[in-house]
């Protein structure tokens, strides 16, 4: 394990210790109740999806069969659940909450909401937004392989988008390729030079989250440039890059351009495949460097 990985693992573990203590997970009973966190989660699932087969419940929560059986036996003895044979398969057992079980869950739910409300109330409005946004980011990153892609839209840039374009180019290409501040300045210069009386841009977005961008820059000689194509790593494979390029080319044709060009680097393999599929051809290339990293600059062109 590298020192960087060790440091990151340590940070995640420190956060886990902090947050579990903050919300009282380590206490014998959650929310000053006689029920553990796991027992509370079982009540939650039964309240939102009852009736449920015990096998389905065990699989959903990834619990040991014996552990779940002991929880259900306790709930049964306290009158919180009713167990019966499945009408579809007599070999299987179905569990549902009783009225008492529903009331018990409702009380836990109210206590949990009140706890989080107290937590948020101690923060200014802006910090509440940062906290909730950070939690959404954690969920998004750690469940990226489990989520079905949301439908995305392609829209014109709005206020705040251009700053995001510069930041994401800098963050992504620094992390993936080691390019530094000079590259960020290059992107910032391109953004600063945009004139939306003749230039255009598009942002890919899903669920209020920016997923990608591309820009069109008109030139005076009947040509145009495709600039700053970017797709977030979490959104790659959804066809967003291809759609952004298609939108840019459609606009170029409608704007009466005869040719469109672009500048890229040979290490950006996925982008290059999109350009080739759209009909671009390599016009020139030369060796260069970015932040001490050797790169191969490339210029591609497409006759419209």
pLDDT tens digits, one per residue of 21-36 = 877 766 767 777 888 8
pLDDT band at 249 (very low <50, low <70, confident <90, very high): very high
The region of weakest confidence among 54-63, 100-109, 180-189 is 54-63
pTM beyond cutoff 0.85? no
Q: Taking residues 109-135, report their average pLDDT.
A: 85
Residues 135 and 159 in one domain: no
Place 147 in a pLDDT band, splitting at 50, 70 and 90: low
pLDDT at 119 over 90: no
pLDDT surpassing 90 at residue 185? yes
Average pLDDT over all residues of the chain? 88
Torsion of CA 124, 130, 132, 133, to 10 degrees: 160
Last residue of a domain, one of 110, 142, 174: 142
CA dihedral of 63, 65, 71, 75, whole degrees rounded to 10? 120
For residue 119, tell me if it sits in a domain. Answer: yes
Q: State whether 174 and 208 are in the same domain.
A: yes
- Let me know if residue 148 belongs to a domain: no
Instruction: Tell whether 70 and 111 lie within a shared domain.
Output: yes
Instruction: Please indicate whether residue 139 or residue 294 has the higher confidence score (pLDDT).
Output: 294
Q: Is the pLDDT of residue 146 over 70?
A: no
**For the ranges 124-128, 147-151, 159-163, 168-172, which has the lowest average pLDDT?**
147-151
Please say which residue of 89, 110, 142 terminates a domain. Answer: 142
Q: Is 231 left (phi over 0), alpha (psi -120 to 50) or beta?
A: beta
In a domain, 280, yes or no: yes
Same domain, 289 and 211: yes
Whether 52 is covered by a domain: the verdict is yes
Same domain, 183 and 271: yes
Q: Is residue 147 part of a domain?
A: no
**Res. 42: pLDDT tops 70:** yes
Q: What is the CA radius of gyration of the chain?
A: 27
Per-residue pLDDT of 259-271, as tens digits, reads 999 999 999 988 9
Structural domain range at position 257: 153-303
State residue 188's pLDDT score.
96
- Last-in-domain residue among 142, 171, 199: 142
Taking every pair of C-alpha atoms in the chain, what is the biggest distance, in angstroms? 83
Which residues make beta-bridge pairs with 82?
A: 96
Residues 91 and 174 in one domain: no
Residues 16 and 158 in one domain: no
The pLDDT, as a whole number, for residue 184 is: 95
- Domain annotation covers residue 98: yes
Into how many domains does the chain fold? 2
- Summarised one tens digit per residue, pLDDT across range 198-218 is 999 999 998 788 999 999 999
Indicate if the pLDDT at residue 148 is higher than 60. Answer: no
């Amino acid at each position: 394990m590298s020192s960087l990985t060790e440091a990151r693992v340590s940070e995640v573990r420190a956060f886990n210790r902090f947050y579990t203590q903050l919300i009282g997970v380590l206490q014998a009973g959650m929310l000053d109740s006689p029920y553990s966190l796991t027992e509370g989660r079982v009540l939650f699932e039964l309240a939102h999806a009852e009736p449920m087969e015990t096998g389905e419940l065990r699989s959903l929560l990834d619990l040991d069969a014996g552990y779940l059986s002991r929880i259900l036996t306790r709930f049964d003895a306290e009158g919180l659940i009713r167990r019966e044979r499945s009408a579809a398969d007599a070999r299987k057992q179905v569990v549902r909450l009783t009225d008492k079980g529903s009331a018990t869950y409702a009380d836990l739910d109210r206590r949990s909401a009140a706890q989080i409300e107290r937590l948020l109330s101690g923060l200014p409005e802006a910090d509440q937004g940062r906290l909730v946004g950070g939690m959404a980011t954690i969920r998004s990153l750690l469940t990226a392989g489990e989520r079905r892609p949301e439908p995305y839209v392609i829209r014109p840039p709005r206020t705040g988008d251009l700053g995001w374009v510069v930041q994401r180019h800098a963050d992504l290409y620094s992390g993936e390729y080691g390019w530094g501040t000079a590259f960020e300045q290059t992107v910032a210069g391109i953004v600063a030079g945009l004139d939306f009386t003749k230039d255009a841009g598009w942002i890919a977005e899903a669920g209020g989250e920016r997923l990608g961008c591309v820009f069109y820059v008109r030139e005076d000689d009947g040509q145009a440039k495709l600039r700053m194509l970017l797709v977030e790593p979490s959104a790659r494979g959804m066809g967003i890059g291809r759609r952004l390029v298609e939108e840019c080319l459609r606009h170029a044709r409608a704007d009466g351009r005869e040719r469109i060009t672009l500048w890229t680097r040979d290490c950006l393999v996925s982008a290059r495949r999109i350009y080739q599929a759209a009909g671009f051809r390599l016009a020139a290339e030369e060796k260069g460097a970015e932040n001490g990293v050797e790169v191969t600059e490339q210029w591609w062109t497409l006759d419209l």
